[in-house]
Amino acid sequence: MKTAYNKFLLWRSSHIKERHFLVFVAFLVGIFTALAGFALKKAILFIQTTLTYSFSQTDANYLYLLYPVVGILIAGLYVKFVVKDDISHGVTRILFAISQRKSRIKPHNMYSSLAASSVTIGFGGSVGAEAPIVLTGSAIGSNLGRFFKMEQRSLMILVGCGAAGAIAGIFKAPIAGILFVIEVLLLDLTLSSILPLLVTAVTATTVSYFLSGSSAMFAFSQVDPFVLDRIPYVILLGIFCGLLSLYFIRAMSWFEGIFRKLPYYKRFLLGGTVLSVLIFFFPPLYGEGYNSINALLAGGESFKTLLNESFFYNMETRWGVVLFLSLVIVFKVFATSATNGGGGTGGVFAPTLFLGCVAGFVFSYVLNQLGYTTHLPQENFALMGMAGVMAGVMHAPLTGTFLIAELTGGYELFLPLMMVSVCSYGTILLFEKHSIYAIRLAKKGELITHHKDKAVLTFLKIDDLLEKDIPTVTPNMSLGDMVKIISKSSRNIFPVVNKDDILLGLVMVNDIRNIIFRPELYDRFTVEKFMIGAPAKINIHSSMESVMHTFEDTKAWNLPVVDDKGVYLGILSQSSVFNSYREVLVKNYSEED
C-alpha cells in the first residue's frame, strides 16, 4: 500500500503541474467540507429534537436549567480528556494560521470540533456551528494537501479553501464563502488562489443542494418593496447595528477575560449557571437561534411565538414583546460567552445573525408602534439587521451583505442590505479597528494584515534579535574600569544594572569621549556620574510593531530590553531589525510579487 502511494506521488509530481493538481484537491475539499457541514447540522437537529420535542409551549420548562449544563460538561470533558487540545475560537485559530503562514492544522481538528460543537449546541449552548465547521474545513484542506505532499504555498491556499467551502456548504452561499476568506481571514487574493477558492465554494454549495435541497436556509418572501423614503431609517438602523456590534465585542471580551482567570471547574460552574438561568427565562437563547430568526422573518404575529416555553408566555402586549426581545439582545452576548467559557465549543457566527435579526425587528417594531413614520416592514428590517450586525462584529460588510442575500434569497433588498452593512462597519470603526476574531490576536501582536510592512513585522520576535553579549556595568564602577571594558568591546553603548540586574541607565561612549583619554580622571569619576537614562525601555513581550513605533518616537538606534520586573535582558538595535525584516520579506513575499 505504501509503495503504491509513493508511486502515485512520484507519478503526480512528474505528470501533473502543482497548480493543476491544486484545483483537483480544492474540488475534493469542497465535497468533504459539505459532507462535514451536513453531518454537523443533522447531529445538532437530532439532539435538539430528541431533548425538546415534549416541551410545553405555554409554561416554563425546567429542563432548560439542566440541558445546557450537561452539554457543556460533556463537551468540556471530551476536549479536556480525549482531544487534549484547545479547539475553541475556531475562526481565530484559522486567522492565526493564515496570518503566520502556518499551513499545518492538526488532523484531529477534522472531527473534534464537530463532535464537541454538536453536543454543545444540541443541548442548548448559545453559540453557532459555523466556527467549528470552518476549523474543520480548514483542517480538511490542510491535511488533504499534506497527504498529497503539496507545496507550502498550495497548503496555505487549501486552508483558505476549506474555510470557504465550510461557509459555502453550511449556508449554501458560495459568494459569501469566498468573501469570508478574503475579508475575515485576510487571505490575499491572487490569480493562483481565486480559482481553487471558486472550485471549493461552488462544489460545497452544489453538494449541499443535493443533500438538503435548493431552498434558502431562511424562509423569506419580499412582500413590501424597498422605497427611497426609508433610506434615513436604513441609515439609522446601520448606526444602531454598529453600536450593538461594539457592545457585543466589548462585552464578550470582558466576559472572556473573567473566564480566563478561573480554573476549569470554576469556569464550568460559572458558565453553566449563567447559561442555564438565561435560557430558562429566555428560551430563544437556546442553541443557534435559527428557529427564532425564521419566526421573525415569517411576518404577521409569528414573532409572538418567541415568548413560548417561558414565564413570559402571557405577556403578549406590544411593549411586553419589546421588553422581552430587548432583554434577549442584552443577554445574548453573556449566554454566548458563558457557553464557550464554561467548556462548550461554538462560534459567534450564528449569534451575530440572531442578534441582528432581533435588533432589526425591534428597531422597526418600536418606530411603527410610536407612529412617527409610515409603516416600516419589520421582516425587511430584521433581514437588514442581520447584515448590519454581522458586518460590524466581523468587520466584513461584503460578507454580511452577500451572505444575508444568499441565505434568504432577499436579493431585492440588496441596496438597503449594503447600506446597513456599510453604515454599521463605518460606525464600529470609530471605536474598534479589529473584528471579534482579530482582536484576540491583535492584543498579542500576532495579527497579520494585508499591509506587508506590518505583516512582516509579526514574523520577527524580540528574543531572536537581542544582543545579549554586550557587557554590563554597575553604578559604582570607576571610569578607569569603564575604559578597560570599552577597549575590549566593539559597541558604543553599555547598560548599567544593579546587583539584581535591574536596568538603571545607559553609558554612551560618545557622551564620555572627552574624558576617557584623561587618566587623571579615572579614579575621580564613577559610572553613576556620567550614565544617562534610557530613551525608552522595550518590554520583551511587546509586539514588533510597537517596538518600531518606540524607535521612531525616541529617534534612538539602540534600546534596552527588559522583562516585566525591569530586569535587563539585552540590547535591540534597528539595524538587526531591518536586516531580519529584509530576509523575511524576501523569503515570504518574493514569490507572490
Q: What is the DSSP string of 208-251?
A: HHHHH-SS-SS-----S---GGGHHHHHHHHHHHHHHHHHHHHH
How is the beta sheet containing 568-573 ordered, strand by strand?
A: 538-539, 558-562, 568-573
Overall size of the chain counted in residues: 593
Residue 314 has a pLDDT of 65
Amino acid at 330: V
Average pLDDT over residues 333-353: 91
Q: Residue 268 CB: number of other CB atoms within 10 A?
A: 21
Domain ranges of the chain: 14-212, 228-450, 454-589
* CB atoms inside a 10 Å sphere around CB 533: 11
- Pairing mode, strands 503-508 and 538-539: unpaired
Which amino acid type is present at position 591?
E
- 131's enclosing H/E stretch is helix 130-147
519 grid coordinates: 587618566
Residue 555 has pLDDT above 90, yes or no: no
* Cβ count within 10 A of residue 149: 14
DSSP string, 504-554: EEEEEGGGGTTTTT-GGGTTT-BHHHH-B--S--EETTS-HHHHHHHHHHH
Across the strands, what pairs with 568?
562
Q: Indicate the pLDDT class of residue 450, thresholds 50, 70 and 90.
A: very low
Q: What is the pLDDT of residue 544?
A: 76
Q: Which residue has the cell 557587557?
A: 471
CA dihedral 478, 483, 489, 490 (to 10 degrees): 130
Q: Residues 454-589: name the CATH superfamily.
A: CBS-domain (3.10.580.10)
- Cβ atoms of 387 and 356 closer than 8 Å: yes
Alpha-carbon gap, residue 515 to 523, rounded angstroms = 12
Helices 231-260 and 318-341 cross at an angle (nearest 10°) of 40
Q: Which residue has the higher pLDDT, 60 or 324?
A: 324
Rounded Cα distance, 239 and 380, in Å:
17
Three-state secondary structure call for residue 254: helix
Helices first, then strands: H and E counts in the chain: 24, 5
Task: For residue 186, give the H/E element and its range.
Answer: none
| Max intra-chain CA distance, the chain | 98
Q: Which residues, other chains included, contact 54 with Cβ-Cβ below 8 Å and sequence gap of 6+?
A: none
Which is more confident, 586 or 94? Answer: 94
pLDDT (0 to 100) of residue 315: 65
Query: Are 141 and 118 within 8 A, CB to CB?
Result: no
pLDDT in tens, 299-315: 777 777 787 766 666 66
Q: For residue 493, what are the β-bridge partners?
A: 508
pLDDT of 483 > 80? The answer is yes
What cell does 189 get? Answer: 487574493
Is the fold of 14-212 the same as that of 228-450?
Answer: yes
End-to-end CA distance of the chain: 40
Residue 99 has pLDDT above 70, yes or no: no
Q: Which of 87-96, 152-161, 184-193 has the highest mean pLDDT?
A: 152-161
pLDDT of the residue at 164: 92
The CATH H-level superfamily of 14-212 is Clc chloride channel (1.10.3080.10)
**Residue 441: predicted pLDDT:** 64
Q: pLDDT tens for residues 524-550?
A: 888 888 888 888 998 988 877 788 888
Taking alpha carbons only, the member of 238, 285, 280, 588 closest to residue 426 is: 238
State the Cα torsion 382-388-393-395 to the nearest 10°: 160
- Could you tell me which CATH class the domain 228-450 is placed in? mainly alpha
Give strand pairing partners of 572: 559
The pLDDT of residue 81: 87
* Alpha-carbon span 376 to 363, nearest angstrom: 10
Question: What is the model's pTM?
Answer: 0.76
Amino acid identity of 86?
D
Residue with cell 494585508: 450
202 membership: H or E segment, kind and range: helix 191-212
Unique residue bearing C-alpha cell 488562489? 193
Cell numbers 418600536: residue: 366
Cα separation of 198 and 175, whole Å?
8
Nearest CA to 465 among 351, 547, 531, 563?
A: 547
Average pLDDT over residues 371-399: 89
Cα(394)–Cα(188) distance, integer angstroms: 17
C-alpha cell at 311: 414565564
| Alpha carbons 270 and 273: distance in angstroms, whole number | 5
| Distance of alpha carbon 255 from alpha carbon 275, whole angstroms | 13
pLDDT tens-digit readout, 216-230: 777 766 667 778 888
Contact 345, 82 (CB under 8 A): no
Whether 149 has a pLDDT exceeding 90, the answer reads no
Report DSSP state, residue 373: S
pLDDT band at 359 (very low <50, low <70, confident <90, very high): very high
